[in-house]
Amino acid sequence: MSYGNRIAELREQRGLTQEELASSIHITRAALSHYEKNRRKPDFEVLTRLADIFDVSIDYLIGRTKQSDVVMDEDVREFVDTLELSDKEVLERFDLMIDGKPLTEEEARRFIAFVRMERSMD
C-alpha cells in the first residue's frame, strides 16, 4: 500500500476531513491532498506529525511494515533520549558529513531522528 493510500485510510478511519487533518498538522488541505494522491511526498516533519496523530510508526505510514502498532512509548522515548547525547550535543561535538559535504543542522537532526526510529524497529 502506498503512503498516500495509507494516510487517506487512517484519516477516514478516524472520521477526519482533509481540512481537519491538514489543520491539525499545520499544512494546507491542498498539500494533504497531494500526499494522499501520491503526487508529492511528505517531508520528515509532516510524517512525524502524522505518525503522532494516528499513533502509528513512520514505517507503517510509508508502507515498510503492515504493523501499525509498533511505536515507541513516550516514557521509553524520554528514557532512551536521556541515555544518549542530545541532538544539540551531537551537533556540537561531531562534524557529520555525507559525500564529503557537511550536513546542515536540519539534515543532521533528521538523520538522528531517522536512526532512532530505525533502531526502535529492531
Q: What is the pLDDT along the chain (122 residues), one digit of tens a residue?
A: 789 999 999 999 999 999 999 999 999 999 999 999 999 999 999 999 999 999 898 888 988 888 776 656 666 666 656 656 666 776 677 777 888 888 888 888 888 888 888 887 76
User: H helices of 37-120, where?
Assistant: 44-54, 58-61, 74-83, 87-93, 105-120
Residue with cell 541515555: 83
The pLDDT of residue 78: 67
pLDDT at 115: 83
- Report the C-alpha gap between 32 and 25 in whole angstroms: 10
Q: If you count them, how many residues does the chain have?
A: 122
For residues 102 and 91, the answer to whether their CB atoms sit within 8 Å is: no
